[in-house]
């Protein structure tokens, strides 16, 4: 259906256009000889054009690069900036903490922390909260706790999940239906099958089979996969997961870091989920490093009752700067004033308009693609019907096609999330911004398909 020669030629044309539009970014990249991979973090080399844009400034849902171009940003730092770039209430709270009160990191609590804990309880239902600086760390510490509390060694995740750089999560379903190391896993401490089990998303039989071994402390999952396209849960799947985990004495950790896009209380509130532990990070700090995990009342009590667990000093759960005054002030301001119920209503409506426009374009061109939306986040995938699990979704990847669409959009002032075709709406994203995307998307498809 897609003419591959034409695609290759168009991709080359768009990359040449990009290089011509971004001489200053190109120079910064060429000169960055003291950085591993030439970038501050190696994943910044995941870009469709050959070198990344260097940012000059960002505000709301707009980014400006060092070459002077303005972008409508649907990537929003892959959710870190779902509140929009530099939302004023977050800036004000952080500035107050930094410049007026002082005390960037002190190893002492500030009263904001209890406010944030109470608000997370109101939104997600879990009753005892602890903070981290990344969602990865929140997941790591949650994993340690569930291992300690159940006395079981393994964690089960879904194939092609992403929960940050968490060793236990780098496992996929192999050809024999059992777990195997995810390809490319860097420096695993032990074979991942020693620490982990895996089941496909939407596969209750697979989950049941794995939990029957009796060695799984917890299932760690997103309520919809969001890091291999969006894979939505089928009817009854999440209720089934909860029933099976309870029956096998396995705890359930729900990672809402991305699925928070579903609404003010994430998918947990929207779908009435009952996790034992909930992990969240990124967006709740409005862009300031943060992470949090919440424990059920029962779990928190049983951890606090264990005198053999060193929860205070060197036991492996914590970080010196976690819960620092700046991070906590940012979470409070962002939750109190930016990612509010009203903001979500607007973001979800804007995302629905994005979905409708992309669906219409796909239909107009008769493409075998599908679109999945989860609240403020929407994504198209080169497969129809939409993939049911991570492995199917991974198989639907088409790197050249994705790169072509991304560079085409960037060259015309639109940013999508670099790792996939995801568009996320901030409180400041407008229907005009969505319309602008649709015009450029239509142009890209017309050039490709004739
Ligand atoms: N959990 C999920 C579901 C994520 O998508 C990510 C990052 N994309 C993380 C955890 C890790 O977040 P961080 O990079 O802030 O540690």
Q: How far is the CA of 13 from the centre of ligand 1 (A)?
A: 34
Q: How far is the CA of 64 from the centre of ligand 1 (A)?
A: 25
What pLDDT tens digit does each residue of the chain (450 aa) get?
A: 899 999 999 999 999 999 999 999 999 999 999 999 999 999 999 889 999 999 999 999 999 999 999 999 999 999 999 999 999 999 999 999 999 999 999 999 999 999 999 999 999 999 999 999 999 999 999 999 999 999 999 999 999 999 999 999 999 999 999 999 999 999 999 999 999 999 999 999 999 999 999 999 999 999 999 999 999 999 999 999 999 999 999 999 999 999 999 999 999 999 999 999 999 999 999 999 999 999 999 999 999 999 999 999 999 999 999 999 999 999 999 999 999 999 999 999 999 999 999 999 999 999 999 999 999 999 999 999 999 999 999 999 999 999 999 999 999 999 998 888 999 999 999 999 999 999 999 999 999 998
Q: Are 259 and 113 in contact (CB under 8 A)?
A: no
Q: What pLDDT shows up at residue 376? A: 98
Q: What pLDDT shows up at residue 450? A: 85
Question: Partners of 416 in the beta sheet?
Answer: none
> From the alpha carbon of 136, which atom of ligand 1 is closest?
16
Among protein residues, the one with the nearest Cα to ligand 1's atom 7 is: 164
Q: How far is the CA of 291 from the centre of ligand 1 (A)?
A: 9
> From the alpha carbon of 80, which atom of ligand 1 is closest?
15
* 154 backbone dihedrals φ, ψ, rounded to 5°: -105, 155
Q: What pLDDT shows up at residue 346? A: 98
Ligand 1 pocket test, pick from 140, 162, 221 with the greatest ligand atom count within 8 Å of Cβ, gives 162
> From the alpha carbon of 161, which atom of ligand 1 is closest?
3
Predicted TM-score (pTM) of the model is 0.98
Q: What pLDDT shows up at residue 1? A: 81
Q: Are 286 and 87 in contact (CB under 8 A)?
A: yes
- What's the longest Cα–Cα distance across the chain? 69
Q: What pLDDT shows up at residue 47? A: 86
Q: How far is the CA of 401 from the centre of ligand 1 (A)?
A: 25
Cα distance between residue 302 and residue 126, in whole Å: 15
How high is the ipTM of this complex? 0.99
Q: What pLDDT shows up at residue 420? A: 85
Ligand 1 pocket test, pick from 46, 134, 135, 225 with the greatest ligand atom count within 8 Å of Cβ, gives 135
> From the alpha carbon of 78, which atom of ligand 1 is closest?
8
Q: What pLDDT shows up at residue 298? A: 97
Among protein residues, the one with the nearest Cα to ligand 1's atom 2 is: 163
Ligand 1 pocket test, pick from 136, 138, 142, 169 with the greatest ligand atom count within 8 Å of Cβ, gives 136
Is the four-CA dihedral 12, 13, 18, 20 of positive or negative sign? positive
CA angle at 224 for the pair 222 and 226, rounded to the nearest 5°: 85
> From the alpha carbon of 279, which atom of ligand 1 is closest?
1
List, in order of start, the domains of the chain with CATH numbers. Answer: 4-82+341-449 (3.90.1150.10), 88-338 (3.40.640.10)
């Amino acid at each position: 259906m897609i003419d591959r020669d034409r695609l290759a030629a168009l991709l080359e044309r768009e990359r040449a256009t990009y290089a011509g539009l971004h001489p200053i970014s190109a120079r910064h990249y060429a000169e960055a000889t003291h950085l591993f991979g030439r970038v501050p973090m190696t994943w910044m080399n995941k870009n469709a054009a050959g070198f990344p844009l260097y940012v000059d400034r960002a505000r709301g849902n707009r980014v400006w690069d060092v070459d002077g171009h303005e972008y409508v940003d649907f990537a929003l730092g892959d959710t870190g900036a779902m509140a929009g770039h530099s939302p004023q209430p977050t800036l004000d709270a952080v500035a107050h903490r930094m410049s007026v009160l002082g005390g960037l990191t002190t190893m002492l609590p500030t009263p904001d922390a209890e406010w944030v804990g109470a608000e997370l309880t109101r939104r997600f239902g879990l009753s005892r909260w602890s903070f981290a600086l990344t969602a990865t760390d929140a997941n790591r510490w949650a994993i340690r706790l569930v291992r300690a509390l159940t006395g079981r060694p393994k964690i089960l995740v879904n194939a092609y999940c992403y929960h940050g750089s968490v060793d236990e999560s780098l496992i996929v379903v192999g050809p024999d239906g059992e777990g195997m190391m995810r390809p490319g896993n860097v420096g695993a401490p032990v074979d991942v099958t020693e620490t982990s089990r895996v089941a496909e998303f939407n596969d209750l039989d697979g989950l049941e089979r794995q939990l029957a071994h009796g060695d799984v402390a917890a299932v760690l999952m997103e309520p919809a996969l969001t890091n291999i396209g969006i894979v939505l849960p089928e009817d009854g799947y999440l209720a089934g997961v909860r029933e099976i985990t309870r029956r096998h004495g396995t705890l359930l950790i729900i990672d809402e870091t991305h699925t928070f896009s579903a609404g003010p209380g994430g998918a947990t509130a929207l779908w009435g989920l009952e996790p034992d532990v909930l992990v969240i990070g990124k967006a709740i700090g409005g862009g300031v490093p943060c992470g949090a995990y919440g424990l059920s009342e029962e779990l928190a009590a049983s951890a606090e009752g264990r005198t053999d667990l060193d929860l205070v000093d060197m036991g492996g759960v914590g970080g010196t700067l976690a819960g620092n005054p700046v991070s906590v002030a940012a979470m409070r301001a962002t939750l109190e004033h930016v990612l509010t119920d009203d903001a979500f209503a607007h973001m979800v409506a804007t995302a629905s308009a994005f979905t409708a426009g992309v669906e219409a374009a796909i239909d107009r061109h008769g493409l075998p693609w599908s679109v999945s939306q989860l609240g403020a986040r929407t994504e198209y995938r080169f497969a129809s019907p939409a993939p049911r699990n991570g492995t199917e979704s991974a198989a639907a990847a088409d790197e050249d096609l994705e790169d072509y669409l991304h560079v085409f959009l960037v060259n015309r002032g639109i940013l999508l999330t670099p790792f996939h075709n995801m568009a996320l709406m901030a409180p400041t994203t407008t229907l005009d911004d969505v319309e602008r995307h649709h015009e450029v998307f239509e142009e890209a498809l017309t050039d490709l398909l004739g």
